Amino acid sequence: MKFSFEVKESDLLGRIGTLSVGGKSLETPCLFPVIHPVSQIVPTRDLKQMGFLGLMTNSYIIHSRRKDEALEKGIHDLLDFDGVFMTDSGGYQVLEYGDLEVGYKEVATFQADICSDIAVTLDRPTGYPQKRSVARETVDYSLKNARSTLNEFGERDTTWVGPIQGGLHLDLVRRSAGALEEAGFSFLALGSPVQVMENYMFADLVRMIIAARKKMRYSTPLHLFGAGHPLTMSLAVALGCDTFDSASYVIFARTGRYMSRNGVMTLQSMKYLPCSCPVCTKTSAKELLELDHGERTRRLAEHNLFILREELEACKEAISEGRLWDLVEERSMAHPRLREAFVELAKHSEQLSLGTPAIKERGLFVRSAEDARRPEVLSAKARLSEVMSTYAKAARVGHAGEGRPRRKSVHDKGRDLFIHHPVFGPVPAELEFQYPFSQTEAEGTPPAVTTQETSKTKAAGHSRVTEKKGAKTRKAVRSRRTRWGASPSPR
């Protein structure tokens, strides 16, 4: 059965894609809610109605609790869901319960026999914190099983996912991802983020995902295990995670935790329900609290799923509009640790520029030091510096807006005018209205031309720079361009 992944739109490393498996298609980024094969709180049919076309479940639990039934019916009939089923190998449980009888062969055979659409090869989660020597063992063990499974079961109808391990040992994460790509996996998954996220180590999460993606082909989709928090979803999407699985919707619900766009709240302390999902429009915070535990858990779980769905839609819309950076930044304001992660993300602009369109329909906002490092700004700066090197050694620096009315006459006379831009510094007047120079909005009014701007222009290779002083100084100098021919293009 053919597996394919097609990228339709992208921004940063985030993409809207179509993942096709077993004749079924999913639009990514998407979340596979984790369901319990024995005691599922929100029925699988309801999940489908809510728009979740893929689900995740644990093959070890099915094997130990409903094995015969699963083999007879197949996983889709067993759990009453005709969408895409992804199964986890149960590596963690195998380890925890010391089930040494179970090897990669048994795990893969069972997953293929119950007709799982996407299955994870038997792995050993690295976890956190973890000693380097143990982390290396988890990587080697998971890799060995992954290679053997793909070699022996690659022809079956199930699509195999290669699990990347290594935890916070980034060189091991890179080695793991690179080796799985080399082995021929068309779908990879990054393990061990759960404890990292539970400890609010979001900057480390950024480093882990970046390390994995660095060794992956752009076209290979990446799954992030156990990531179901509305606040980190856009961050993970921006770093190139295409699918997620999580049981957070129900784990949070059991303890009365209510997800929101700005974080997780405790129902007990809430007077209002700031949400318009079917659950929250039909009930009040007080009524929800008065329900018995089972019913309250179910309703809270449903609400949490709506919030996760809403956040994924927000990510997709942001990718489509070319404003994923802005969404990640907006979410990062909810917690100082998230802000730290955003600062870390900004350090990887070069990698993020891979999926960022060169020209966007929307303007760019520059509000912070991090924004000045957004991929669009850095790539425009690189183009600009190439263009600047073709100009004369002498220049005059003016104010924004000065270029347009004077442009013709200035050029006719073969003179160069540079407009001071608050983000880009000196920009040749003829580029002032090109993307992204006129479409970039920075905070406050642009500062007047200062000695600093003059020295920046000098640093760009112009030895004689004249500043505009009052209305009188209009000194422009002969351009090298008039001797070289046509104006240079930024692209």
> How do 257-260 and 263-266 pair as beta strands?
antiparallel
Q: Given the complex with Zn ion, which of 211 and 288 has the nearer CB atom?
A: 288
Nearer to Zn ion, 270 or 275 (CB): 275
- For Zn ion (CB under 5 A), the number of binding residues is 5
Angstrom distance (rounded) from CA 214 to CA 338: 22
Task: Report how far residue 196's alpha carbon sits from residue 202's, in angstroms, rounded to the nearest whole number.
Answer: 7
Q: Which segment (303-311, 313-321, 429-437, 481-489) binds Zn ion by CB under 5 A? A: 303-311
Q: Which uninterrupted H or E stretch holds 181?
A: helix 170-183
Least Å distance, CB 382 to Zn ion, is 45
Closest CA to 239 of 263, 216, 271: 216
Q: Of the ranges 41-49, 300-308, 412-420, 467-475, which one interacts with Zn ion (CB under 5 A)?
A: 300-308
Closer to Zn ion by Cβ: residue 196 or 307: 307
Ranges within 152-211 binding Zn ion (CB under 5 A): none
CA distance 97 to 187: 28
Nearer to Zn ion by C-beta: 209 or 259?
A: 259
Q: How far is the CB of 51 from Zn ion (least distance, A)?
A: 15
Distance CA 329, CA 206 (A): 14
**Minimum separation from the CB atom of position 300 to Zn ion (A):** 9
Nearer to Zn ion, 303 or 348 (CB): 303
Q: Is 292 designated active site?
A: no
212 versus 277: smaller Cβ distance to Zn ion = 277
Judged by CB under 5 A, which of 303, 309, 339, 420 binds Zn ion? Answer: 303
Q: Is 305 among the residues that bind Zn ion (CB under 5 A)?
A: no
Q: For residues 102 and 253, which CB has a smaller minimum distance to Zn ion in the complex?
A: 253
Q: What angle do CA 446, 359, 491 make, to 5 degrees?
A: 90
Least CB distance to Zn ion at residue 252 (A): 13
Strands 222-224 and 243-246: parallel
Q: Which is nearer to Zn ion, 87 or 304 (CB)?
A: 304
The stretch near Zn ion (CB under 5 A) out of 53-61, 298-306, 400-408, 449-457 is 298-306
Query: What is the Cα–Cα distance from 236 to 228, expressed in whole angstroms?
Result: 10
Shortest Å distance, C-beta 241 to Zn ion: 25
Which stretch in 58-66, 260-268, 296-304, 476-484 sits in contact with Zn ion by CB under 5 A? 296-304
Q: Hey, what amino acid is at 256?
A: G
Shortest CB 282 distance to Zn ion, Å: 10
Candidates 137-145, 165-173, 264-272, 297-305; binding stretch for Zn ion (CB under 5 A): 297-305
In our burial notation (b when 16+ CB lie closer than 10 A, e otherwise), range 285-304 reads beebeeeeeeebbbbbbbbb
- Measure the CA–CA gap between 470 and 137, rounded to whole angstroms: 70
Q: Which of residues 381-410 bind Zn ion (CB under 5 A)?
A: none
How does strand 159-164 pair with strand 118-120? parallel
Q: What angle do CA 54, 246, 242 make, to 5 degrees?
A: 60
Nearest residue to 116 via CA among 46, 48, 32, 212: 32
Distance CA 414, CA 476 (A): 9
Cα–Cα distance list, 38 to 70, 111, 119, 130, 256 (Å): 12, 17, 19, 32, 22
Residues 234-293 that bind Zn ion (CB under 5 A): 275, 277, 279-280
Q: Nearest approach, Cβ of 277 to Zn ion (angstroms)?
A: 3
Q: Enumerate residues 131-150 that contact Zn ion by CB under 5 A.
A: none
Catalytic residue among 46, 68, 88, 245: 88
Burial of 381 per CB tally in 10 Å (0-12, 13-18, 19+): middle
* Shortest separation between residue 307's beta carbon and Zn ion, angstroms: 7
Burial grade of 57 (CB within 10 A; 0-12, 13-18, 19 or more) = buried
Q: What are the distances in angstroms from CA 107 to CA 110, 225, 373, 408?
A: 5, 18, 46, 73
Contacting positions for Zn ion (CB under 5 A) = 275, 277, 279-280, 303
Instruction: Tell me the catalytic residues.
Output: 88
